[in-house]
Chains A and B, each alone.
Chain A
């Protein structure tokens, strides 16, 4: 088990560097650059900019310098935001996205698991149909619709919560609900499906035959197995949530990483793009590893050599 984890951890670094390289090539292939705007620059001004940022050096040399710095953990300064280092920008904005993301996922887990388990146990009941219809709705209504509707009701009619911007608990309630809704719906459906499958399996029948109480069967045996689909979903979902979600961050004007990432691409802010890509890919790989490890605890059939 331990050697498996170490092997997986070791592979993260070369993988991240590979991702960075591919991204770098893609950025270089994209037309336009960080300093282009409506106004064409005189040749002299453009030459000054190129010199200042080392863009006048041969491309291979630029790649070498960049990789050497990245290996040492330094992504350099943002090209768009003068004087701010990429590491600083990620450090500053990640907590916003992570806060909203974690809270949204906790909300989604509570709602989703509860609804899913109950729906599975009371299959074909009114609750089952009702909650699953709601889940279907949650899945199909995009968050750029849910968000504005919530804002309309709670911010512009009732004036309870602020319509946007970061500041205090009241400001994060609407974004957390907006973001959590779709995940809650997904988790509810996954849980229900997983639970239904497990409840019909032989080992549950065995457990019941042993004379265990229905609660014990449910909590000790069924839920553990029924949760596996939710766990595999959690890894990538949580990574994506932590990294920030563009729509919710834009609608609610949250200074999170997701919006910054999109802006960095539109700005052709190369160091910032590379920094965020590297950060996100490491985040995703670590979460996938956590998911794989947790399988071993949930499902006795899974063993890692």
Chain B
């Protein structure tokens, strides 16, 4: 009887496994493309879109996976430019903005239709805006519409105050505000004057809180206000009070309570994409189901199997249907990046969404230049600092910790991101980058240093870090080959991050940097995401907390806003009324270049006070097959699907994705120019 020992069996299996692995490493590198690359015979894009959408209601879903599906199903006044994400005309052909930037007049195209053939008119937009902002819908994005006059008051259920003569109390008579004062109506009106316009253009009314307890608190804090409101009638702010008006069927007017130059950038956002009133009212909570749903975008819903696939097909009723090149898009909602990569490699998906290629795979993927997208994203990653708690309340400690990190090395280690010494990501807002250079240059003149040198030093300067730490009262001494800083209170500083392999790797990298360059071993601690959120937001942490932000709209304000108002998202404990006032006045500035310079001044303050430790600008990090055209690595990875097409001629396939943003695809450019033509003609 022959006996095979356990050892022999194991050895055999192990050797087979190793040889299989080796074959896998060598087999793909010889090909021009990664994995199976065969252009489909039909015009169907198979796209991996991220988690299962929370909802198909554009007012409801907040994430990017939802946004990508909404961009196929719904259209708004404006759409994102496929490359830059600047707003381009969609259902609005053209628009006018009054000189103080508070009033917008949109001219809608007359041939826009819902998927059931109903025309899309200004009234549908009024309905959409009112619905998105209604307290009953409780949209988590509602605050994006707060710039619209009385939108916040309506969404928070506030009350107007009416005296016995039927006159409403005005805000300017009773509320003193730090920086922002109400805008007076000393401008010319856009479009015809209507009754509603007279109301919405009149001085802003006073509003008080709806909840009795909170109202009492509000009035208690301001005796003058209390006296004025006492005995007066409280009138709820209704949906028809918000500053959105259908002047006629194809003219929509929006009134803001104060200038917000980035408001136009916000309008392609899902919250403002138009929905169909009759079907929503008819079907109630089931309106989003296949068969019931009526949409406004270039595609309409055909199949929805949650967690499996969501298929949209070209909508013949769409106003620009003749120029929609895809017949259908299959969205695959997946969670596991390896699975996505397998589907992509196996030729069963044509493109994946951002941040999908795992760092360990990058060396293999990067050579496939036609497919790999590595462009900067409108997103940063940083550590928030608890600036009100010792020892982080000491500016020098914060600066030392920041300077002790070698960001170039960090970026190389992580393979995709770019090192960041500023707070607003570099290379996303070109005009702002210029303004920043100018403003920082002026500020730094006194210190006799150029912006370039200063930025370079901020990326990594261990010498200065040790000096600052010593000056802060925690002397850094030479200890053998390294450094030690025995007096630094490591029990009071922890680096907290939300559980994820990548966050852990970065935390460990930075921990090693501090150890190496300052001789300080800072403890690191991970937390489950939903546990981490309130912990960070409430600045319950001591020391540092991982943070990241991706732009809501294409304006640097979306980043600088993180330190605005006492309840800001920066999660540092910082609040400075002067900073708020600076941002307010920047947003009132009509000269856009001057405005950007004011914003840069604000950013300089954030950097000088070292509220956070900036780490990197994120990279988009995704892949698409070379035959998918019109799909660009824009800063938000949000794609206007009607520009996408399948190219069957391999000679016209993408060769190098690095040039994809510069190269002009005649097919796509022609389409963009045609869409934009109306906008230019009417200006």
Which positions in A face B, CB cutoff 8 Å?
Answer: 30-33, 35-45, 47-49, 51-52, 77, 80-84, 89, 92-93, 125-126, 129-130, 133-134, 137, 148-149, 151-153, 155-157, 159, 162-166, 250-253, 255, 259-260, 263, 266, 268
Measured CB to CB, the closest approach of chain B to A150, in angstroms, equals: 11
Q: How far is the CA of A42 from the CA of B133 in the complex (A)?
A: 13
Q: Which residues of B sit under 8 angstroms from A134, Cβ to Cβ? A: 9
Q: Which residues of A sit under 8 angstroms from B263, Cβ to Cβ? A: none
* B138 near A51: Cβ-Cβ < 8 Å: yes
Q: Which of B9, B52, B286, B307 contacts A130 (CB 8 A)?
A: B9
* B24 near A157: Cβ-Cβ < 8 Å: yes
Given A40-B537, A51-B135, is A126 in contact with B140 using a C-beta cutoff of 8 Å?
A: no
Asked if B57 is an interface residue, CB under 8 A from chain A, the answer is yes
| Highest count of chain A CB atoms <10 Å: which of B138, B288, B529 | B138
Measured CB to CB, the closest approach of chain A to B496, in angstroms, equals: 13
Asked if B221 is an interface residue, CB under 8 A from chain A, the answer is no
Instruction: Closest A residue to B63 by CB, please name it.
Output: A37
Asked if B17 is an interface residue, CB under 8 A from chain A, the answer is yes
Q: How far is the CA of A164 from the CA of B347 in the complex (A)?
A: 11
Can you add 9 more A-B contacts, CB < 8 Å, to A45-B140, A45-B143? A37-B63, A39-B569, A51-B138, A93-B306, A125-B1, A133-B9, A162-B343, A164-B343, A263-B52
Q: How far is the CA of A177 from the CA of B137 in the complex (A)?
A: 46
Question: Is the contact region of chain B dominated by helix, strand, or loop, or is it mixed?
Answer: loop
Q: When each residue 61-72 of chain B gets 1 if its CB lies under 8 Å from chain A and 0 otherwise, what string results? A: 111000000000
Given A47-B156, A251-B339, is A82 in contact with B60 using a C-beta cutoff of 8 Å?
A: yes
Given A35-B140, A151-B342, is A44 in contact with B156 using a C-beta cutoff of 8 Å?
A: yes
Q: Which of B140, B211, B336 contacts A41 (CB 8 A)?
A: B140
Instruction: Closest B residue to A151 by CB, please name it.
Output: B342
Q: Which of B9, B285, B567 contacts A40 (CB 8 A)?
A: B567
Q: How far is the CA of A228 from the CA of B305 in the complex (A)?
A: 41
Q: How far is the CA of A31 from the CA of B286 in the complex (A)?
A: 31
Asked if B346 is an interface residue, CB under 8 A from chain A, the answer is yes
* A83 near B286: Cβ-Cβ < 8 Å: yes
* A126 near B339: Cβ-Cβ < 8 Å: no
Given A44-B156, A152-B20, A251-B339, is A81 in contact with B306 using a C-beta cutoff of 8 Å?
A: yes
Q: Which residues of A sit under 8 angstroms from B35, Cβ to Cβ? A: 156
Q: Which residues of A sit under 8 angstroms from B179, Cβ to Cβ? A: none
| Highest count of chain A CB atoms <10 Å: which of B55, B307, B308, B548 | B307
Q: Which of A84, A253, A268 contacts B334 (CB 8 A)?
A: A253
Which positions in B face A, CB cutoff 8 Å?
Answer: 1-6, 9-10, 13, 17, 20, 23-24, 27, 35-36, 51-52, 54-55, 57, 60-63, 135-140, 142-143, 146, 152, 155-157, 211, 285-286, 288, 305-309, 332, 334-336, 338-339, 342-343, 345-348, 528-535, 537, 548-549, 567, 569
* A156 near B345: Cβ-Cβ < 8 Å: yes
Measured CB to CB, the closest approach of chain A to B1, in angstroms, equals: 7
* B308 near A166: Cβ-Cβ < 8 Å: yes
Given A81-B55, A83-B55, is A165 in contact with B138 using a C-beta cutoff of 8 Å?
A: no
Q: How far is the CA of A125 from the CA of B3 in the complex (A)?
A: 7
Given A149-B17, A152-B24, A165-B308, is A251 in contact with B338 using a C-beta cutoff of 8 Å?
A: yes
- Cross-chain pairs A/B with CB under 8 angstroms, 6 sampled: A36-B534, A38-B549, A45-B139, A45-B143, A129-B3, A156-B342
* B27 near A165: Cβ-Cβ < 8 Å: no
Q: Which of B36, B143, B306 contacts A92 (CB 8 A)?
A: B306
Q: How far is the CA of A259 from the CA of B35 in the complex (A)?
A: 28
